[in-house]
């Protein structure tokens, strides 16, 4: 029996995409056309043989195949519609057309099977009221029908697995029911040939029960998808993917749905309020990539919500300033504790250099209002506006060209730390030469101690080379406490 079309595998690969390429579209249409052709042949065979022999089981199967013919035509139409790309009126695509077809198909099956079950019960309640001619050629026709049912069931099941199509999966499920019903009719015909006339009605009733059960199952699955019922396997896969990230995201809300082999995921994550737009967008991209790797062929929308960063007045004031439009950078944030309680905040804010003084002043006032609204204890805010500098052109300095500066840096670092620098790099800019130094300090020292050590080294280098435009000391932890290493 094929897999339940109500529960497609959310982790299926792109090869099973409900919106695949031209090969997928042609394959799905080819499978649907095969189903239509087979249904026509079966209706003719079953109806003709049933009318000649008087077999209710064959007539039941003919009606069943007739419903399947209508359903196959619906499937062909739905597949043609479902593969259309999103447009202005259908911005999420047309994938649900397949589920609408499956819903209509289940309704057809329930109606036809109800009529067959009623007729079968009437014949069982009136034994001998209908004569059945169980000839050898009728049995041969049923065997041919079984072969056709088996072939198209396998073809539809493989196509449904390959393309992730619920409509084709519904067809495969019905063809499996047809196969079971055809076997039941064969047994009923054999029973009639052996002298039990009621066997045909029993077979017809069994076919009706099988078809109704399959139709109800299909009906539930179609309703679940059309009502956007969440697939718990998708939810678990998304949460596991986010938790497995190098920096797991704080998921505040998660919504998933599935239609025509495609997953749709909406997730809300929390990001520090002072992260900035670019960093927040990069964080959303990381989450989106992780989900798409776990759930291929998924439409992912990540919404970012700012959260207050844990910390004191300085962190809150920084986050508040960065929320103001056209503020590019915030630095040198200081908090002054005033007598009698309360704080005063001073900070530097960088804006575009082409702004007028009036525009810059308006931005500064908005920053001050934003900080006062975020921190109730702040009595005053003083903002220093600076122009945002464009990237500075620079070139690397050759080893021979910076020999004196390198020797001076090496001496200053050895004097301060007892070991040589981990790296020395130099850049020539329009402002002058810039020295970049990397030093190793004990891993257990505090950030404050590391900052003071870096400051002393910068001063020592400037004393030896006062012409340098800038000296930047980068500190890294060294797990080896031996300074002679």
Q: Which one, of 261, 222, 250, 205, lies nearest residue 57 by Cα?
A: 205
Q: Which one, of 184, 194, 191, lies nearest residue 116 by Cα?
A: 184
| Bridge partners of residue 436, in order along the sequence | 425, 472
Residue-range domain boundaries for the chain: 14-226, 232-307, 313-387, 394-478
Q: Sheet with 343-351: list strands edge to edge.
A: 329-337, 343-351, 378-387
pLDDT digits (tens, 9 = 90+) for 161-218: 776 666 667 667 767 767 777 787 788 878 877 777 778 778 778 777 877 887 787 7
Same fold, 14-226 and 232-307: no
Q: What is the Cα 2 distance to its own chain's centre?
A: 26
pLDDT digits (tens, 9 = 90+) for 117-139: 887 787 788 766 566 666 778 78
Percentage of the chain with pLDDT > 70? 79
Check: CB of residue 312 under 8 Å from CB of residue 377.
no
**Under CATH, which number does the domain 232-307 receive?**
3.30.70.1350
Helix spans in 401-446 (H):
403-417
- Global pTM? 0.44
Length of the chain: 485
| CATH for 313-387 (3.90.470.20, 3.30.70.1350, 3.40.50.720, 1.10.150.530) | 3.30.70.1350
| Bridge partners of residue 383, in order along the sequence | 347
Q: At what angle do helices 56-82 and 166-193 cross, to 10 degrees?
A: 170
Q: Which one, of 471, 444, 440, 469, lies nearest residue 455 by Cα?
A: 471
Tell me which of 10-19, 30-39, 198-207 is least confident: 10-19
pLDDT interval class at 364 (50, 70, 90) = very high
Q: At what angle do helices 166-193 and 22-53 cross, to 10 degrees?
A: 20
pLDDT digits (tens, 9 = 90+) for 44-74: 888 888 788 777 777 777 776 776 676 666 6
pLDDT of residue 131: 63
d(CA 446, CA 66): 81
Dihedral of CA 152/153/158/163: which sign? positive
pLDDT of residue 4: 40
| CATH for 394-478 (3.30.70.1350, 3.40.50.460, 3.90.650.10, 3.30.300.280) | 3.30.70.1350
| CATH for 14-226 (3.40.1550.20, 1.20.120.160, 1.20.1510.10, 3.90.1150.10) | 1.20.1510.10
Tell me which of 8-17, 92-101, 275-284, 422-431 is least confident: 8-17
pLDDT of residue 17: 39
């Amino acid at each position: 029996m094929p897999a339940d079309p109500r529960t497609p595998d959310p982790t299926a690969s792109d090869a099973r995409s409900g919106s695949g390429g031209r090969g997928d579209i042609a394959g799905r249409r080819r499978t649907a056309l095969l189903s239509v052709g087979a249904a026509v042949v079966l209706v003719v065979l079953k109806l003709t043989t049933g009318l000649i022999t008087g077999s209710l089981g064959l007539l039941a199967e003919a009606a069943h195949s007739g419903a399947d013919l209508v359903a196959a035509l619906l499937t062909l139409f739905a597949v043609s519609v479902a593969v259309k790309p999103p447009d202005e009126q259908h911005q999420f695509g047309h994938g649900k057309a397949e589920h609408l077809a499956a819903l209509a198909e289940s309704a057809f099956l329930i109606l036809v099977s109800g009529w067959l079950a009623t007729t079968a019960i009437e014949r069982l309640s009136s034994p001998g009221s209908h004569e059945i001619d169980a000839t050898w050629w009728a049995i041969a026709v049923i065997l041919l029908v079984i072969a056709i049912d088996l072939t198209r069931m396998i073809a539809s099941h493989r196509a449904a697995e390959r393309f992730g199509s619920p409509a084709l999966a519904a067809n495969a499920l019905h063809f499996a029911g047809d196969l079971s019903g055809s076997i039941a009719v064969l047994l009923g015909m054999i029973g009639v040939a052996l002298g039990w006339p009621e066997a045909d009605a029993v077979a017809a009733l069994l076919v009706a029960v099988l078809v109704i059960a399959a139709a109800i199952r299909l009906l539930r699955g179609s309703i679940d998808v059309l009502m956007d019922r969440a697939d718990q396997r998708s939810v678990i896969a998304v949460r596991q993917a986010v938790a497995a990230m190098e920096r797991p995201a704080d998921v505040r809300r998660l919504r998933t749905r599935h239609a025509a082999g495609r997953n749709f995921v909406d997730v809300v994550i929390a990001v520090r309020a002072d992260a900035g737009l670019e960093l927040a967008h990069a964080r959303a991209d990381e989450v989106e990539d992780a989900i798409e790797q776990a759930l291929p062929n998924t439409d992912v929308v990540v919404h970012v919500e700012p959260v207050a960063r844990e910390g004191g007045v300085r962190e809150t004031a920084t986050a508040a300033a960065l929320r103001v439009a056209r503020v590019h950078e915030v630095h040198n944030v200081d908090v002054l504790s005033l007598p009698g309680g309360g704080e005063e905040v001073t900070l530097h804010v960088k804006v575009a250099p082409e702004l007028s003084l009036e525009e810059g002043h308006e931005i500064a006032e908005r920053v001050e209002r934003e900080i006062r609204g975020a921190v109730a204890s702040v009595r005053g805010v003083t903002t220093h506006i600076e122009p945002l500098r464009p990237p500075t052109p620079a070139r690397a300095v050759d080893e021979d060209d910076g020999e004196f500066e390198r020797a001076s840096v090496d001496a200053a670092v050895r004097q301060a730390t007892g070991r040589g620098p981990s790296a020395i790099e130099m850049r020539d800019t329009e402002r002058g030469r810039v020295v970049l130094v990397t030093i190793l300090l004990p891993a257990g020292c505090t950030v404050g101690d590391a900052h003071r050590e870096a400051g002393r080294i910068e001063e020592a280098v400037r004393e030896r080379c006062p012409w340098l435009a800038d000296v930047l000391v980068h500190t890294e932890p060294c797990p080896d406490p031996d300074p002679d290493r």
